[in-house]
Structure 1
Amino acid sequence: MFKWEVVHGGKTPPPGAAVGPMERLSWGRTVGLGAQHIVAMFGATFVFPIIMGLDPNLAILFSGVCTILFLLIVKNKVPSYLGTSASFVAAVVAIRAQGGDSADVTGAILVAGLVLAAVGLLVHFAGARLIHTILPPAVTGAVVMLIGFNLAPVVADAYWPQDQWIALLTATFMVAAAVMLPGFWSRIAVLLALVFGYLVSWAADGVFGPITSPDATGEVVTRDRVSWAGVESADWFGLPSGQLADGVSAVHGPSFSLSFILLVLPGVIALIAENTGHVKAVAEMTGDDLDPYMGRAIGADGLATSLASLFGGSPTTTYAENIGVMSATRVYSTAAYYAAAMFAIILGLCPKFGAIINAVPGGVLGGITVVLYGMIGLVGAKIWVENRVDFGNPVNLVGLAAGIIAGVGGVTLQVTDDFELGGIALGTILVIAYFHLVKSRREELGTETPATTT
């Protein structure tokens, strides 16, 4: 597993040449590529923990630990970096809205990780066809879409009002950077938008003075947009510590509630889709047959998510940003990912770095999340398009409709006096149940025009 063949004399490969997963360049170049992977995953990996109310330093630390765990489980055959997953953000918002704290959040996610690991085990022995039978692209796309669009009120109510003009400028910059900048720079649009928003907020403090607006708790206060008081007092080196905004320790053990667990389980479907897509994308780039490692990859991400959550960390997933780096460099060496993981662990052990992350102005988060949340939702539409889901077929059109609206609209179903299903959980159940209820007529109705109302 740890014998990488040195290729191209260890030097930068000529144009068009590739470096495979079990190959490497010189260690100096390999470490440099690892740093590039850190930059690519960096923005989203610490933005999402902040949004979920978890510790970003701990998330960075465990992203490195979990990446190593993933590589070991897939026997270094599937190059991947595990950053923070966005698939549970909406469920976390729902848990906190119902009075849950960070321990409830990490407990629910830990169980979801174990479920994902069990799915990986099943896929490993039964084959990837099992996934496509239970969760065809029509269903997976719908679930991912309702997860993303369910987050719209979070932007509107929590982040955007803190500084609407900074949010608008940050969102505009992020959209332009992601589309108009060349190559690698477009892949780190989140990080660039964060730096841009920070600088604009600092300039606004100097030009316009403090802002009076709702803070993260919703209370209207007058304050500076950028405050580094916590940065100055933070140590340069140490384990993640301190308390989160809800009073729970940054490093904490999980607690478990069935209601909260049901809220996060739909995120497992999104993680299955992400991991499956990642393995397929890497296989296409490298030319290797990675189907035998599909179950290992899914299971590894599940175990990684559970491990991180056990200590209060954020859930993980394979990162598309790092696929972009591999696509640009044509270097797929897993050795570079070990280097990236070590960089992340070092950063996670720097409390001053974490304090800088925690000082991100609310308006900057508003601009970044308004784009990111929309992108999460549209990934569902991307799954539909790539798999040519036919919405001229009423099985797809009608079978998915109710679940999407229930999930996005926050519809609830009171099951008992103490238990209700709602939002993403109810929407996911309806999507899966209604689709499989009518799917037997899919081929029969495939050429018919669906009934519509005007």
Structure 2
Amino acid sequence: MSMFKWDVVDPEPGVAVAPHQRLPWGKTIGLGAQHVVAMFGATFVFPLVMGLDANLAIMFSGICTIMFLLICANRVPSYLGTSASFVASVAAIRGQGGDSADVTGAIMVAGVVLLLVGVLVHFAGGAVIHKILPPAVTGAVVMLIGFNLAPVVAGIYWPQDQWIALLTAAFMVLAAVTFPGFWARIAVFLALIFGYLISLFADIIFGPINSITGSSNGELLDHDRVSWAGVKAADWIGFPSGDLLDGVSVVHGPSISLSFVLLVLPGVIALIAENTGHVKAVAEMTGENLDPYMGRAIGADGLATAFASAFGGSPTTTYAENIGVMGATRVYSTAAYYVAAIVAILLGLCPKFGAIVNATPGGVLGGITVVLYGMIGLVGAKIWVENRVDFGNPVNLVGLAAGLIAGIGGVTLKITDDFELGGIALGTIMVIAFFHMVNFRKSRDSGEVTRAL
């Protein structure tokens, strides 16, 4: 059977539609559009906070989603949106003087590493991941990645417009928790629209604001919260072009530096956890055994991340928002994801759309990121809870403690005059090394006791 031949079904609402099935094309297109809305907010917010181009990210999210579906033989329905796992690492790279080419070069290498992990899992099985990266370790790494971002919010986004940031954050929290069904799943997108609107009203009522901007290096300037000068100048149709805020071309080749690569490698651990969780969630929802596709899914995400970064695009990951849409509709058809991917590619080819995205007020980003970054950190705690990690066990409590503080607090370790480890990279190494050091000792001691008995 052709990979692109789906069994056409039209069941009653609530009856599941399998990955190899599809609804009539009219309904499939409507569902695909729903997936676009679900992924939309986070997919272009994260490129903005990483200093990359949102239009390019949207376009590559569509291309990479198609790549993922093909590699997984259309068995794992998924949308690849922009990953948040590298946001803290990107902030660290820029803090050390790196530019956008350094950012995409480091992320490209991380994508290749994830691809190799996927190949290993495909041939060796998923058990190898759990042995090296048990839930206790994975949760700690994800937590330190998220909480390491707190200074980024406090120093860059929040000061641009604290009151807009506070209102946007409050709206996002309410939307995510109190809005019904699908609307709660697109809380990021709704918060962005809300923040945009109140920023426009604030400009009309209060006039320009005196604050820092995203490109003012901390200098206070009088400026409108919303400026659409770039929107008016942008074309309706065309490839993403122009320069980023640091002067690097939107579409650019990567630059690779070992120091910066080490900063982003911890994000690979988060992507492994995300992809593994995604496959398991889809398997549970569809009732199919997708373990044979675990390695393919991880490798496909790695290839997609490396491919997008090679052209200046953003890293990718499987999106929980779209799992929510599948859970609500019980439609798991991969055909809907092809539709979503094509729509995303078309959006990416509209420079005017990208200009609107790039005009997002800094205060709005401040409100969204203060919630999102905290959520990233708390996902680590969620991993612990779901896997019942026992912190009464000193292996978990003591083995993870030092790495967490080093990663979140930005502790550095100077190796040579030109090379040092710090922040996320050092914290991750300490978490993995200390955990396995004491876990190995405890396991060996337990074995000796068992033999003695």
TM-score range, shorter chain: over 0.9
Aligned to 1:31: 29
CA contact (8 A) 1:394 1:445 kept: no
- Aligned-residue offset at 1:2: 1.1
Whole-Å separation in 1 of the counterparts to 2:80 and 2:155: 30
Whole-Å separation in 2 of the counterparts to 1:442 and 1:184: 47
Whole-Å separation in 1 of the counterparts to 2:73 and 2:318: 16
- Aligned-residue offset at 1:15: 3.6
Aligned to 1:5: 7
Whole-Å separation in 2 of the counterparts to 1:407 and 1:161: 24
- Aligned-residue offset at 1:204: 0.6
Aligned to 1:52: 50
Residue by residue, what CA displacement relative to the aligned partner does 1:252-305 show, whole Å, maximum 9, x if unpaired? Answer: 000110000000000000000000000000000000000000000000000000
Whole-Å separation in 2 of the counterparts to 1:417 and 1:350: 47
Instruction: State the Cα RMSD in Å.
Output: 1.1
CA contact (8 A) 2:111 2:301 kept: yes
Aligned to 2:236: 236
Regions of 4+ moved over 6 Å: 443-446
The correspondence of residues 318-329 of structure 1 with structure 2, limited to 5 A, is 318-329=318-329
Aligned to 1:96: 94
Whole-Å separation in 1 of the counterparts to 2:169 and 2:223: 22
Whole-Å separation in 2 of the counterparts to 1:260 and 1:60: 25
CA contact (8 A) 1:393 1:445 kept: no
Identity, % of aligned pairs? 80
Q: Tell me, which stretches of 5 or more residues in structure 1 are unaligned?
A: 447-454
- Aligned-residue offset at 1:411: 0.2
1:280 aligns with 2:280: yes
CA contact (8 A) 1:193 1:368 kept: yes
Aligned to 1:383: 383
Aligned to 1:355: 355
SS in 2 for 1:434: helix
Whole-Å separation in 1 of the counterparts to 2:45 and 2:172: 14
Whole-Å separation in 2 of the counterparts to 1:149 and 1:165: 22
CA contact (8 A) 2:14 2:329 kept: no
Residue by residue, what CA displacement relative to the aligned partner does 1:208-234 show, whole Å, maximum 9, x if unpaired? Answer: 111001111322000110110100110
Whole-Å separation in 1 of the counterparts to 2:316 and 2:174: 27
Aligned to 2:148: 150
User: Which letter does structure 1 place at the counterpart of 2:248?
Assistant: V
Structure 1 residues 433 and 333, CA gap change in structure 2 (3 angstroms): same
Aligned to 2:346: 346
Aligned to 2:417: 417
Residue by residue, what CA displacement relative to the aligned partner does 1:319-358 show, whole Å, maximum 9, x if unpaired? Answer: 0000000000000000000000000000000000000000
CA contact (8 A) 2:108 2:309 kept: yes
- Aligned-residue offset at 1:441: 5.2
CA contact (8 A) 1:395 1:441 kept: no
Residue by residue, what CA displacement relative to the aligned partner does 1:103-142 show, whole Å, maximum 9, x if unpaired? Answer: 0000000000000000000000000000000000000000
User: Which letter does structure 2 place at the counterpart of 1:253?
Assistant: G
The correspondence of residues 81-230 of structure 1 with structure 2, limited to 5 A, is 81-216=79-214, 217=216, 218-230=218-230
SS in 2 for 1:265: helix
SS in 2 for 1:249: coil
User: Which letter does structure 2 place at the counterpart of 1:410?
Assistant: G
Whole-Å separation in 1 of the counterparts to 2:46 and 2:416: 33
User: Which letter does structure 2 place at the counterpart of 1:349?
Assistant: L
CA contact (8 A) 2:122 2:295 kept: yes
The worse-fitting range, judged by mean Cα deviation, of 28-37 and 437-446 is: 437-446
User: Which letter does structure 1 place at the counterpart of 2:250?
Assistant: A
Whole-Å separation in 2 of the counterparts to 1:401 and 1:335: 45
Whole-Å separation in 2 of the counterparts to 1:114 and 1:350: 30
SS in 1 for 2:417: coil
User: Which letter does structure 1 place at the counterpart of 2:379?
Assistant: V
Whole-Å separation in 1 of the counterparts to 2:66 and 2:78: 10
User: Which letter does structure 1 place at the counterpart of 2:46?
Assistant: F
SS in 2 for 1:78: coil
1:40 aligns with 2:38: yes
The correspondence of residues 327-342 of structure 1 with structure 2, limited to 5 A, is 327-342=327-342
Number of residue-to-residue matches in the alignment: 442
Aligned to 2:73: 75
Aligned to 1:408: 408
Whole-Å separation in 2 of the counterparts to 1:102 and 1:208: 35
Aligned to 1:295: 295
- Aligned-residue offset at 1:16: 2.9
User: Which letter does structure 2 place at the counterpart of 1:163?
Assistant: D
Whole-Å separation in 1 of the counterparts to 2:161 and 2:139: 33
SS in 2 for 1:253: coil
Aligned to 1:449: none
Residue by residue, what CA displacement relative to the aligned partner does 1:226-257 show, whole Å, maximum 9, x if unpaired? Answer: 11010011000000000000000000000110
Q: Tell me, which stretches of 5 or more residues in structure 2 are unaligned?
A: 447-453
Whole-Å separation in 2 of the counterparts to 1:161 and 1:154: 11
CA contact (8 A) 1:69 1:304 kept: yes
